Structure 1
Amino acid sequence: MSVQPQPWPQPDPQIAAAVRAMYRGKREAPLAVQVRDRPGELFPDAAFADAFGRAGKPGWSPGRLALVTVLQKAANLTDRQAANEVRENLAWKYALGLRLEDPGFDHSVLSEFRARVVTHGLEEQALDLLLERLRELGLVDAGGSQRTDSTHIVAAVRDLNRLELAGESVRAALNALAAACPNWVDQALVVEDWSRRYADRIDTWRLPTSKAKQDALALHYAKDGYTLLHAVYAHGSPAWLRELPAVQSLRIVLVQNYTRTTAGNGHIRVKRRERTEDGGDGLPPGPIRLASPYDTDTRWSAKRETFWNGYKLHISETCHPQADGDRPARPNIITNVATTASTLPDTKALEPIHQSLQRRRLLPSRHYLDSGYPSADLIVSSTKTYGVALITPVLLDTSHQAKAGQGFAAHDFTIDWDNQQAICPTGRTSSTWNPVVQEGVPKTVVAFAALDCIPCPHKEQCTSSRKGRRLSLYPRELTEAIHTAHEQQQDGTWQRDYALRAGIEGTIRQATHTTGLRRARYRSLAKTHLDHTTSATALNLIRLHAWWNGRPLDRANHSHLARLQLSLAA
């Protein structure tokens, strides 16, 4: 398929006349019509040309396919439904510049388009182009305020326990081998025996309930898996079979869930891995443990009461404080979406978010975050490197005094950095000052003498240790930044200002309800990220559509009972 970049054709006069007639007067034109009329050609073909060849059969315009994909997400349509809209919907034909009799394209073209975009690393191209156009229109710019929060994304695969994962990995490898090289499968394996055990999905039949039977079945899956790998890696087998993704996934699942030892008589013993207190022969940590043979990027994770298999999505948007009833000078625009592994802590995601915003020239001056994002180092480095002030609760003192809000917390002590000593609230001076490295972070451990702490009348408010009180301090610059932030948070003005962060929860609700991105549509991190950036682009257009027409973005849909409760409360 080849593409020769061309400017989009103007809307067909016949379609334009029909659209103008249908939406004459105060009737609000559809999103597709206003997108074409106001920002114009958002996605030029040249921006996607690298994903297509220069010779061969001409293909559909990639820029217009990008717009179809965005409109598809705005309406939460399947590929087949979106292709039907291109053929039948006058508003879509108007936006795409199609003739009335244009037959459109087969729905499979959208899948091929997404695959090419992912292969060439253009997942963020549509969002980048829209944000750049909004920069030109003065609707978004660097500086100001932005807010960020994360939510969980459920992967487009079935949830499997360890036993099901082992059996399904063998089944996936068998199916991949049978599809890639059926003659080899027929020669190397007894197809009837393998088909009897692995014809159907492992999770469709009832697994044994007793642990002994489950262990026996797990070892049976392991035996079949190792037998299959031994056949694949045999001298006479085609070498390329080893590179099949399903075969590689089977290898990883077996290594992560089983151990093999060789006895003195040469007998090989296979055993399930079990986590032990000392970590020996235990399961691998969550960030590298496979959860599905069909999507090797998805991971199991937990956050408070939520336990899911999938990814994590971080959404950043501009935010503008405004009085009730006032029309905002600018709409809130989503400036970045980051799709990460579900096991990645929020603190590790903040630096890449700032890098993406810097690349788009949309770094904020004030960044509103919840307490899961900042660390002592990030509070300082964000200001130094990017000029971004993190507006976030400081919860870095993990002592029981700080958590309980009673007694003497670390910030109650006076630190004399020049003389390398600390002074407690009762006036006692520390006895030792030792630079250390804790979990890879340089810190200073300050200790008070037991002779000062034990007879102190305030000991119960300070420490339960039989020895003296100890403090673990970050480097001076970080400690002073934390202390300053803590003092600011005691002010009611800061609390009212921080309330601006809460609006990101509504954005996440809008994203999950409008575009259906709570459950991933595609497998792999790259394809899921493309879906998220397309959804963010669609949400921005929906917000612009509401802002252009001077109406609220979302109206509360209360039930009759809720309305009665509100009226009684009033």
Structure 2
Amino acid sequence: MQGIERADRELLDAQALVGHLVPEGGMFAFLADHRQDVFDDEEFEDLFPSGKGRPSIPASVMASILVLQTLHDLSDRETAEAARCDLRWKVATGMPLDHKGFDPSTLVYWRRRLAKSKRPHRINEAVRQVVEQSGILRGRRRRAVDSTILADAVATQDTITQLIAAIRRVGRVVPGGSEAITAVCTAHDYHRPGKPLIDWDEPGAKDTLVSALVNDANALLEALAEVDQDEVEGPVAAALALLALVAGQDVEPAEGSDGTDGRWRIARKVAPDRVISTVDTQARHTRKSPEARRDGYRAHVAAEPETGIITDEALTKAAGTENSDAAVAGQFLAADTAQAAGGQDTVDSVDGDAAGTREWYGDSAYGTGDLRAAIDDAGHVAVIKPKPLGSPVEGGFTIDDFTVDEDAGTVGCPAGHTRPISRTRVANFGALCNGCPLREQCTKSKSGRKIVLHERDRELRKARSDWAADPELRDKYRKHRPNVERVVSQIANRGGRRLKLRYRGTTKNHAWLTRRTAGLNLRNLIGHGLTRTAGLWALTPATA
């Protein structure tokens, strides 16, 4: 059953005895006074539908602890120790000085209950209500979007380790799997962990081992093809699917082989959407630049740039077009539009613009035609740096040097030649480039210049033209867009140290991100003088 905080204080109440030691204007002091106002026990009643059993820790206390845990980036054991031994935590959570705290598993219990509920992110929702009622976003029509990579909680595995781990998992999970491994797998003793003992410096030894492991995987999948279909679901299906995936994603036929002779080698390329660990199958390789390669997940955020208040967040896989910066920003835009349509937005007219109009700021990663069109369709303004244009020849002609007539369906080149646009939106100049005096500035291809037009070519051209011609647009970008980088830094760092995720999978890590952004927003509001008067949240006049 749900526990409720007592209205009366205990004899050794921490706030009454040592509350004066906790600095005012900070998160600990604020939660000591207002945790029940922010995290109302009634909002958590559905987590404990039964009125029987031992009372839980009060929801207002546990919600505060979960927020403090993510803000301070503590493990469950460290959090339980802080709640037991740190006076600030006792004051913030209303515990008496002699309270023995709780077992670390209590935090797991609460996160699971929240995850299985209809409102798994209600802690974040509670803080958003405080943000809305405080009025800090009223009249502020700018939103800036950005993302960062957060390292996953597991070690990246190489191909050989993944193959062995996937086969071992089949042996543990699939009915009859262990027996099948003994019967058909010969490359390694899969009943013990670790890699096989081979001479890793011997040429060809690794490819020989890879061939043997891939053949074992294929033989095991074939042997288990007759597993009762009623049992091939959940963990069983996942184990078999993972084995099939890792047996194919990183290997290719050996030199001089088509794969039918059982000779394989590690592929000389990285598979798209490659699984990098059998422990966390949703972690991915990614990179911010060719030099900065990272493994993990991508945390996306939308924020009001002047106040730093986070208005939306999402944690996704680090790879995949559906998880790109522009795609997730489109989701933020859609959610913001739906919220405004539902009457939950209170944006006022600013500088003569229509009420509700937003300015969306983003770097060139957000400069896709689809996102620009979506922002325009929503009646908003895109202040997004265009993606830089490349040229087949250094310093040569870019696509903007070619004129496009969508109505006529033609493309004209700098030399005055015109070609039709195909159904696949390609204009091939081919033989027209032969003998052209501008060829050396245009292409190195023997077959001539080929122009591939984006579906949103018109929007992208206009964006590049406006950016080049409008210094005020560039000034707005330079003034407001960089502010979101501070928000991203707060999400990804703690005390000068880069954070490492503590959970596996996008669902759990997204839940962590919502709690962290809730804590950052609440801390931000406290810094702006958040007060509660007559049951309402407000900011002090000096900071509003």
**Distance across 2 between alignment mates of 1:242 and 1:352:** 29
Whether 2:340 is the aligned partner of 1:347: answer no
**Deviation for aligned residue 1:40:** 5.2
Checking the alignment, whether the CA contact within 8 Å between 1:415 and 1:421 is kept in structure 2 is yes
> 1:427-438, aligned counterparts within 5 Å?
428=416, 431-437=418-424
Q: Which residue of 1 aligns with 2:40?
A: 44
**Deviation for aligned residue 1:69:** 0.9
The correspondence for 2:475, drawn from 489, 493, 496, is: 496
Q: Which residue of 2 aligns with 1:545?
A: 526
The correspondence for 1:332, drawn from 288, 308, 311, is: 308
**Deviation for aligned residue 1:70:** 0.8
**Distance across 2 between alignment mates of 1:250 and 1:412:** 50
**Distance across 1 between alignment mates of 2:90 and 2:8:** 8
Q: Which residue of 2 aligns with 1:279?
A: none
**Deviation for aligned residue 1:228:** 5.4
Checking the alignment, whether the CA contact within 8 Å between 2:150 and 2:492 is kept in structure 1 is no
**Deviation for aligned residue 1:318:** 1.0
Find the residue that maps to 1:87 and give its secondary structure: helix
**Distance across 2 between alignment mates of 1:495 and 1:445:** 32
Q: Which residue of 1 aligns with 2:27?
A: 31
Paired residues, number: 501
Find the residue that maps to 1:250 and give its secondary structure: helix
CA 1:292–1:425 in 2, change beyond 3 Å: closer, same or farther?
Answer: closer
> 1:109-258, aligned counterparts within 5 Å?
109-120=106-117, 122-141=119-138, 144-175=141-172, 197-198=189-190, 201-202=193-194, 208-225=200-217, 239=231, 243-244=235-236, 245-256=238-249
Q: Which residue of 1 aligns with 2:350?
A: none
**Deviation for aligned residue 1:481:** 5.9
Checking the alignment, whether the CA contact within 8 Å between 1:431 and 1:449 is kept in structure 2 is no
CA 1:464–1:523 in 2, change beyond 3 Å: closer, same or farther?
Answer: closer
Structure 2 letter corresponding to 1:339: L
Please say which of residues 221-230 and 511-520 is displaced more in the overlay: 221-230
**Distance across 1 between alignment mates of 2:198 and 2:38:** 52
Checking the alignment, whether the CA contact within 8 Å between 1:259 and 1:270 is kept in structure 2 is no
**Deviation for aligned residue 1:130:** 0.9
Q: Which residue of 1 aligns with 2:288?
A: 303
Checking the alignment, whether the CA contact within 8 Å between 1:366 and 1:388 is kept in structure 2 is yes
The correspondence for 2:72, drawn from 52, 75, 99, is: 75
Checking the alignment, whether the CA contact within 8 Å between 1:147 and 1:319 is kept in structure 2 is yes
The correspondence for 2:50, drawn from 48, 51, 54, is: 54
Q: Which residue of 1 aligns with 2:493?
A: 513
Checking the alignment, whether the CA contact within 8 Å between 2:171 and 2:181 is kept in structure 1 is no
Find the residue that maps to 1:311 and give its secondary structure: strand
CA 1:540–1:187 in 2, change beyond 3 Å: closer, same or farther?
Answer: same
**Distance across 2 between alignment mates of 1:210 and 1:270:** 20
Structure 2 letter corresponding to 1:210: E
RMSD: 4.3
CA 1:88–1:219 in 2, change beyond 3 Å: closer, same or farther?
Answer: same
**Distance across 2 between alignment mates of 1:99 and 1:186:** 53
Find the residue that maps to 1:394 and give its secondary structure: coil
**Distance across 2 between alignment mates of 1:219 and 1:470:** 42
Q: Which residue of 2 aligns with 1:291?
A: 276
**Deviation for aligned residue 1:347:** 2.8
Find the residue that maps to 2:314 and give its secondary structure: strand
**Deviation for aligned residue 1:164:** 1.7
Find the residue that maps to 2:331 and give its secondary structure: helix
Q: Which residue of 2 aligns with 1:22?
A: 21
Structure 2 letter corresponding to 1:337: E
Q: Deviations over 1:278-322 (max 9, x none)?
A: xxxxx88422x32211111112223321223221111221112xx
**Distance across 2 between alignment mates of 1:241 and 1:209:** 42
**Distance across 2 between alignment mates of 1:48 and 1:19:** 29
CA 1:470–1:217 in 2, change beyond 3 Å: closer, same or farther?
Answer: closer
CA 1:445–1:257 in 2, change beyond 3 Å: closer, same or farther?
Answer: closer
Structure 2 unaligned residues grouped into runs of 5+ = 254-259, 346-355, 531-544
Checking the alignment, whether the CA contact within 8 Å between 1:147 and 1:501 is kept in structure 2 is yes
**Deviation for aligned residue 1:395:** 2.3
> 1:88-107, aligned counterparts within 5 Å?
88-107=85-104
Checking the alignment, whether the CA contact within 8 Å between 1:338 and 1:529 is kept in structure 2 is yes
**Distance across 2 between alignment mates of 1:389 and 1:48:** 39
Q: Deviations over 1:476-512 (max 9, x none)?
A: x851563254233444333322122222223332222
Structure 2 letter corresponding to 1:507: V
Structure 1 letter corresponding to 2:462: H
Checking the alignment, whether the CA contact within 8 Å between 2:210 and 2:265 is kept in structure 1 is no
Please say which of residues 237-246 and 496-505 is displaced more in the overlay: 237-246
Q: Which residue of 1 aligns with 2:465?
A: 486
**Distance across 1 between alignment mates of 2:527 and 2:8:** 23
**Deviation for aligned residue 1:370:** 1.0
Q: Deviations over 1:28-74 (max 9, x none)?
A: 35412214536752233444444554355343334432221111122
The correspondence for 1:315, drawn from 291, 301, 307, is: 301
Structure 1 unaligned residues grouped into runs of 5+ = 261-267, 277-282, 321-330, 438-442, 550-570
**Distance across 2 between alignment mates of 1:292 and 1:186:** 22
Checking the alignment, whether the CA contact within 8 Å between 2:297 and 2:318 is kept in structure 1 is yes
Structure 2 letter corresponding to 1:514: R
**Distance across 2 between alignment mates of 1:238 and 1:455:** 68
Q: Which residue of 1 aligns with 2:374?
A: 381
**Distance across 1 between alignment mates of 2:509 and 2:360:** 26
Find the residue that maps to 2:421 and give its secondary structure: strand
Find the residue that maps to 1:337 and give its secondary structure: strand
Checking the alignment, whether the CA contact within 8 Å between 2:28 and 2:92 is kept in structure 1 is yes
**Deviation for aligned residue 1:198:** 4.4
User: Structure 2-normalised TM-score?
Assistant: 0.76
Structure 2 letter corresponding to 1:17: A
**Distance across 1 between alignment mates of 2:50 and 2:150:** 37
Find the residue that maps to 1:436 and give its secondary structure: coil
**Distance across 2 between alignment mates of 1:241 and 1:376:** 40
The correspondence for 1:391, drawn from 376, 379, 383, is: 383
User: Structure 1-normalised TM-score?
Assistant: 0.73
The correspondence for 1:371, drawn from 364, 372, 377, is: 364
**Distance across 1 between alignment mates of 2:9 and 2:398:** 71
Q: Which residue of 2 aligns with 1:527?
A: 508
**Deviation for aligned residue 1:394:** 1.5
**Distance across 1 between alignment mates of 2:224 and 2:445:** 61
Q: Which residue of 2 aligns with 1:563?
A: none
Please say which of residues 527-536 and 514-523 is displaced more in the overlay: 514-523
